[in-house]
């Protein structure tokens, strides 16, 4: 009996110790300080492409631009996209460009906290220094909105943010270029957009029980999206089987219409209306070129 | 003997019921009554959208008459022609309408009205023709993509620029492609808010 008690105490002690270690474990990547000058217009364009505006604006609730998005209900709990306006108290007005870069590409906040991967920073890791500088220049033009960001509302054990450090170790791989020398410039531009800022895989690639994408099933479609939605497969094979041509893809991303004349509703409707419809013809063509010729895993 | 008579009568009733039911059920599995009526209305809009899509996708040559005709079809099925088919509480399966429609009736009605306005404007604009392929990159609402109209220029909230509804004066001069963009944006906005997602794949 006594032995069991001792054993249990030791196990508990080890668990607490590990939790403390995990909590203390610093994850800040080395801060980068050299950035090229940013271009506001290019940044605004990227903010559309990357879905910053779609997610961090409460569109249905007629919220102010970037002042915080509508809640995202998942099986882990409810996420609240925070205020990204220049308000120095509630937004990111007091941040520096290097802090912004680390938040965006590494998913670590200025105070060293790991972000939940509902924020698609694993995709933004592919953004160049120029991209980051451009986005920053654009964000600096957003009017401040004094609106607090609600706390993330997650169930146990996901509410313990330090656990994300383990998650990161398990699932975050250094972003690797998907470019290919054998392919056209247009194809490569498409790969860059699709696998980077546009983060198509966030919804179209299925996730495992811990919410990490299953890369061997890239673009095969997912169920259990926030709010209980599902997404169709967008592999080259699936698109071709469904009869989608290049012009169908560009048309869908520009106008939110399927080849049957139906409109894309649900979260894709928002992706189009707040994001892809603003993209240039060249970029939409690049996306279609890449998707219809996506290498198999 | 009497059993037989009853069976025959029962069979006749059954046949009649099935016949009536099948007459009411068509493309939309199981839909009847007002739900079927509005699904048919959406189908007619969808057919018109398909014609317009083919033209604005440049799969077919620009045809002002076809654009005008399809736009008029949409106009005639929008506005109150549409909203009257959504009586309160008619969201039972197989309907894909969300109950939010009746909680936000004003917004639903406004979107149906917008659809009428934009499709009417598109019908009027049809003779203006389309911009040549490979010409100006055109957003759906005719906004330049990098024109600084989205964010920047120090305008408060201009990150969301391009969202303002065009005035009625603007509608009379806008090119068909831009108006088509407004029509499709209205469809998407309404479906995003008020339609549950069905999956055909």
Ordered structural domains, chain A, with CATH? 40-171 (no CATH), 185-291 (1.10.760)
What pLDDT is recorded for position B162? 47
Nearest to A260 among B50, B57, B156 (CB): B50
What pLDDT is recorded for position A166? 83
Within 8 A by CB and 6+ apart from A226, the residues are A72, A73, A74, A79, A118, A267
Residue B97, SS3 per DSSP = strand
> Do B49 and A257 count as a contact with CB atoms less than 8 A apart?
yes
Q: What is the mean pLDDT of residues B68-92?
A: 94
- Average pLDDT, whole number, for chain B? 77
Q: What is the percent of chain B with per-residue pLDDT over 90, rounded to a whole number? A: 50
What pLDDT is recorded for position A175? 65
**Which segment of A273-277, B144-148, B170-174 scores lowest on mean pLDDT?**
B144-148
Taking a C-beta distance cutoff of 8 angstroms, is the pair A284, B140 a contact? no
What pLDDT is recorded for position B140? 41
Best of B98, B114, B159, B199 to substitute, by most chain A Cβ atoms within 10 angstroms, is B159
What pLDDT is recorded for position A297? 61
Distances (CA, A) of B96 to A27, A105, B31, B76, B86: 46, 39, 11, 22, 12
In this prediction the ipTM stands at: 0.76
Instruction: For chains A and B, count residue pairs whose Cβ atoms are closer than 8 Å.
Output: 135
> Do A141 and B151 count as a contact with CB atoms less than 8 A apart?
yes
Q: Which residues of B touch A248 (CB under 8 A)?
A: 57
Biggest CA–CA distance in chain B, Å, is 91
What pLDDT is recorded for position A251? 94
B19 pLDDT band (50/70/90 cuts)? Answer: very low
Q: What is the mean pLDDT of residues B169-176?
A: 91
A62 pLDDT band (50/70/90 cuts)? Answer: confident
Which one is predicted more confidently, A208 or B9?
Answer: A208
pLDDT surpassing 80 at residue B159: no
B198 pLDDT band (50/70/90 cuts)? Answer: low
């Amino acid at each position: 009996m006594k032995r069991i008690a001792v054993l249990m105490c030791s196990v508990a002690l080890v668990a607490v110790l590990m939790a403390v270690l995990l909590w203390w474990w610093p994850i800040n990547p080395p801060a980068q300080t050299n950035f090229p000058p940013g271009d506001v217009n290019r940044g605004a364009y990227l903010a559309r492409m990357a879905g910053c505006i779609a997610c961090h604006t409460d569109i249905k609730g007629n919220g102010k631009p970037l002042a915080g998005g509508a809640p995202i209900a998942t099986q882990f709990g409810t996420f609240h996209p925070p205020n990204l306006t220049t308000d120095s108290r509630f937004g990111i007005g007091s941040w520096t460009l290097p802090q912004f870069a680390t938040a965006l590409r590494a998913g670590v906040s200025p105070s060293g906290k790991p972000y939940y991967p509902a924020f698609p920073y694993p995709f933004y890791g592919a953004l160049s220094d120029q991209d980051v500088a451009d986005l920053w220049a654009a964000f600096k033009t957003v009017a401040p909105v004094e609106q607090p960001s609600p706390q993330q509302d997650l169930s146990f054990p996901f509410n313990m943010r330090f656990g994300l450090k383990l998650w990161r170790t398990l699932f975050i791989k250094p972003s690797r270029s998907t470019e290919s020398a054998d392919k056209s410039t247009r194809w490569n531009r498409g790969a860059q957009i699709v696998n980077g800022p546009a983060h198509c895989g966030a919804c179209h690639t299925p996730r495992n029980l811990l919410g990490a994408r299953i890369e061997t099933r890239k673009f095969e479609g997912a169920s259990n999206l926030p709010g209980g939605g599902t997404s169709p497969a967008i592999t080259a094979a699936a698109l071709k089987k469904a009869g989608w041509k290049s012009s169908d893809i560009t048309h869908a991303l520009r106008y939110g219409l399927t080849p049957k004349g139906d409109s894309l509703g649900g979260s894709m409707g928002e992706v189009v209306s707040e994001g892809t419809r603003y993209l240039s013809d060249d970029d939409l063509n690049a996306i279609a070129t890449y998707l219809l010729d996506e290498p198999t895993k | 003997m009497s059993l037989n008579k009853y069976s025959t009568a029962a069979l006749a009733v059954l046949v009649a019921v099935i016949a009536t039911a099948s007459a009411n059920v068509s493309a939309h599995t199981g839909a009847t009554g007002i739900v079927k009526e509005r699904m048919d209305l959406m189908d007619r809009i969808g057919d018109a959208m398909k014609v317009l899509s083919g033209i604005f996708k440049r799969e077919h040559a620009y045809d002002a008459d076809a654009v005008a005709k399809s736009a008029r079809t949409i106009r005639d099925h929008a506005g109150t022609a549409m909203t009257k088919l959504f009586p309160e509480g008619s969201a039972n399966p197989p309907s894909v309408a969300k109950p939010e429609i009746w909680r936000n009736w004003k917004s639903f009605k406004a979107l149906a009205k917008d659809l009428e306005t934009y499709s009417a404007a598109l019908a009027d604009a049809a003779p203006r023709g389309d911009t040549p392929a490979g010409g100006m990159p055109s957003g759906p609402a005719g906004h330049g993509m990098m024109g600084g109209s989205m964010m920047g220029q120090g305008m408060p909230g201009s990150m969301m620029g391009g969202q303002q509804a065009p005035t009625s004066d603007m509608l009379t001069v806008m090119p068909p492609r831009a108006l088509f963009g407004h029509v499709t944006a209205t469809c998407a906005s309404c479906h995003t808010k008020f339609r549950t997602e069905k999956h055909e794949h």
